[in-house]
Amino acid sequence: MWQAVAPSEPPVCNPLKGFVPYSGEYSTFPYSLEYDPIPVKAVQTGYNTFNWDALEGVLDTISDRGHQALIQFYYDSPDDPSGIPLFLSHVPVQNYTDYENGTHATSVSPDYEHADLKTSMFNFIAAFGARYDGDPRIGFIELGLLGFWGEWHTYPWEGEEEGFPDWMPTLTTQNQVLAAYDNAFNSTRLLVREPRGNSPKHDFGYHDDSFVYYTYDDVPPEVEWYFQPRMVAAGETEKWKTCPMGGELRPELQGSLFETDGCSYADPEGEGTQTWNRSVDINHASWIMVDEAFYPDPGYPELKKTRALEASRILGYALRIDSWASEEVLESGKTRFTVKIQNIGVAPFYYKWDLELGLFQSDTLCQTLTTDWDIRTVIDGTLITFAHEANLDGLDSGDYTLAIRLKNPLQNGDPVIFANSNLNPPAPDWQVLGTYHKPDSNSAPVLTGIENRSIPVGQALQFQISANDADGDTPTFSATGTNP
């Protein structure tokens, strides 16, 4: 018999989704991902030599807080020191002393077509993947490396409309970088700034770093270089079903977007109005960088924070248990547990974290059942039915609390919270399903064999019988028959 699990509102924050700050410890807003851009020179010491201590320090610090890291490496971040490794000091660079993002730009833009830089860059990507692919401390990686801030462009925020297009590598080199990352990483999920070159052929998501500002245009004709028109033109509007989407709320909007209901931005030049909710629906974003929500203490004021919390809530996945059932499978002697799950969020969960069932008595975990269920297949509101057969021979008969969890691979990682009521969970990272009753075991008695007998017609047949009962019960006997 199916037993329903009461629904509830999805949480504001969950692992691998929500608002993202720069790496740090904050108490002003909930978060599970932390962003840290890292200069290539911090880890690469030669064409094929590396010192990963800087990255290890970042990952350990973030994971110690129970969070996963959002990582991006760069060569050129305007207004920051250059990220080019010292052994590449002979590579030609473009210098700039003033930049619209700040008036103290100290970085330089390298010649991405220089053979030595390309050799070292491809070696870096291969070594990065060989060491860190599948590392549970990393949530997502932005490809980075190319252009200002590793964002695959050399266009200023304001001012010169043409930017510096000659500073970007050729499309051939961009495609080589895409292929190198795809070859280096198989497990950890990657994102690139926008559809570019061969990106649709690769298993990459995208990050819209001018979210709600240049995401879409509701005044025809659409501006072709806005994020969503680019996705449409590249045939990538369904990519979110298998690859993660993210981005950054345009910095100019981080202080103002949540000041009024609707959370909208109206382009002063009449290009239309964009809203947070519509941008999320279009983008299917799991996370968005909104660093200003986290500082200074105490963060956003009350009403502004309330709107921001709701904006965070609608990002990414929202997993809900619909119902569950159990039955004893006589032919195998096992118990089959069946659970129906749906995703009421805008995006899937992108990793195959273990889905486990737990049988508890009070707060004691009596048995863990690790299933082969793949949460990545729960994409939308469609109910997905999962079944698992378990051997419970070592479990005493009686009542147990049956619970489920999507296990965070970080030892102290934040728990995944389901969009369900969860009264009195036996442990913080477990969602209660209900009560499972393990029936009494009752093995059939084994009758001692009776030897063949023959007697004359008309005489009574007499013999002694015995049986053994594995449960220790005293057997009773009865017999019927005829003598023809």
pLDDT digits (tens, 9 = 90+) for 261-272: 999 999 887 778
Rounded CA-CA distance 29/23 in Å is: 13
Whether the pLDDT of residue 472 is over 70: the answer is: no
Residues 110 and 245 in one domain: yes
Residue 459 lies inside a defined structural domain of this protein: no
Q: For residue 21, is pLDDT > 80?
A: yes
Please, are residues 166 and 270 in contact by the beta-carbon 8 Å criterion?
no
Res 455: pLDDT: 73
Beta strands 93-95 and 467-468 are unpaired
Average pLDDT over residues 124-142: 98
The answer to whether the CB of 274 falls within 8 A of the CB of 212 is yes
Give domain status of residue 342, yes or no. Answer: yes
User: What is the separation, in whole angstroms, between the first and last Cα of the chain?
Assistant: 49
Based on the fold, state whether residues 338 and 371 are members of the same structural domain: yes
In a domain, 68, yes or no: yes
Instruction: Establish if 466 belongs to a structural domain.
Output: no
Mean pLDDT of 278-284: 97
Q: What angle do CA 266, 272, 277 make, to 5 degrees?
A: 70
Task: Classify 276 as helix, strand or coil.
Answer: helix
Say yes or no to pLDDT of 478 above 60.
Answer: yes
- Residue 242 lies inside a defined structural domain of this protein: yes
The answer to whether residue 467 sits within a structural domain is no
| Cβ burial, residue 378 (10 Å; 0-12/13-18/19+) | buried
Is 49 in the same domain as 187?
yes
Indicate whether 361 and 384 sit together in one domain. Answer: yes
* Boundary-marking domain end, from 253, 279, 313: 313
Predicted pLDDT at 158: 42
Structural domains of the chain, count: 2
Respond yes or no on whether the N-terminal peptide bond of residue 296 is cis (omega within 30° of 0).
yes
Residue 43: the pLDDT is: 98
Q: What is the rounded CA–CA span in Å between residue 391 and residue 400? A: 15
With 50 as the cut, is the pLDDT of residue 258 above it?
yes
Contact 29, 19 (CB under 8 A): yes
- Six-digit token string for 16: 């691998």
- The residue among 243, 231, 314 whose CA lies nearest residue 276 is 314
Question: For residue 294, what is the DSSP state?
Answer: G
Cβ density class 40-77: b for 16+ within 10 Å, e for less: bbbbbeeeeeeeeeebeebbebbbebebbbbbbbbbbb
The count of other CB atoms within 10 Å of the CB of residue 409 is 14
For residue 93, the surrounding DSSP H or E stretch is: strand 93-95
pLDDT of residue 461: 66
- Average pLDDT over every residue of 407-434: 95
pTM: 0.88
Q: Is residue 170 scored above 80 in pLDDT?
A: yes
Which CATH number characterizes residue 290's domain? Answer: 3.20.20
Amino acid at 175: N
At 48 the pLDDT is 97
Which two tokens mark 464?
A: 């002694």
How would residue 473 be classed by pLDDT, with cut points 50, 70 and 90? low
Tell me, what amino acid is at 83? G
Task: Tell me the CATH number at 368.
Answer: 2.60.40
Domain residue limits at 365: 319-438
Give the least confident one: 370-374, 420-424, 456-460.
Answer: 456-460
Task: Out of 83-87, 150-154, 199-203, pick the least confident.
Answer: 150-154
- What's the pLDDT score for residue 298? 77
Tokens encoding 307: 């709107």
Both tokens of residue 290? 């909104």
Let me know whether 335 and 278 are in one domain.
no
Does the pLDDT of residue 462 top 90, yes or no? no
Do 62 and 174 belong together in one domain?
yes
- Average pLDDT over all residues of the chain: 91
pLDDT of residue 135: 98
**Going by DSSP bridges, is the β-strand pair 138-145/108-110 parallel, antiparallel, or unpaired?**
unpaired
State which of 281, 313, 345 marks the end of a domain. Answer: 313
Cβ atoms 310, 9 nearer than 8 A: no
pLDDT digits (tens, 9 = 90+) for 300-354: 999 999 999 999 999 999 999 999 999 998 788 899 999 999 999 999 999 999 9
DSSP string covering 355-423: EEEEEEETTEEEEEEE----GGG--SSS-EEEEEEE--TTSPSEEEEEEEEE--SSTTPPPPPPSB---
Strand partners of residue 370: 356
pLDDT at 224 over 50: yes
* pLDDT surpasses 70 at 471: no
39 and 168 part of one domain: yes
Helices and strands (H, E) in the chain, number of each type: 6, 24
3-state SS assignment for residue 221? coil
For residue 129, what are the contacts with CB-CB under 8 A and spacing of at least 6? Answer: 181, 183, 184, 185
Which one of 251, 282, 313 terminates a domain?
313
Please write the tens of the pLDDT for every residue from 436-451.
999 986 555 666 667 7
What does residue 42 show for φ and ψ, rounded to 5 degrees? -70, -20
The pLDDT score that the predictor gives to residue 123 is 98
**What pLDDT is stored for residue 160 in this prediction?**
46
- The two tokens of residue 462 are 């007499």
Nearest to 113 by CA among 90, 83, 84, 91: 91
User: What is the distance between the alpha carbons of residues 111 and 166, in angstroms, rounded to a whole number?
Assistant: 10
pLDDT digit string, tens, across residues 297-314: 778 999 999 999 999 999
pLDDT score at 80: 87
The closest alpha carbon to 287, from 394, 418, 167, 139, belongs to: 139
CA distance linking residue 143 with residue 71, whole number of Å = 9
Look up residue 120 and give its DSSP letter.
H
Whose CA is closest to 196, among 147, 266, 157, 156?
147
User: In this structure, are residues 96 and 102 in contact, taking their beta carbons and an 8 Å threshold?
Assistant: no
Do 335 and 417 lie in one domain? The reply is yes
65 part of a folded domain? yes
User: pLDDT confidence of 408, banded at 50, 70, 90?
Assistant: very high
- Range scoring the smallest mean pLDDT among 5-19, 93-107, 158-172, 198-212: 93-107
Q: Is the pLDDT of residue 147 over 70?
A: yes
107 forms beta bridges with: none
Q: At what angle do helices 302-313 and 276-283 cross, to 10 degrees?
A: 20
If pLDDT is split at 50, 70 and 90, which confidence band does 157 have? very low
Same domain, 177 and 59: yes
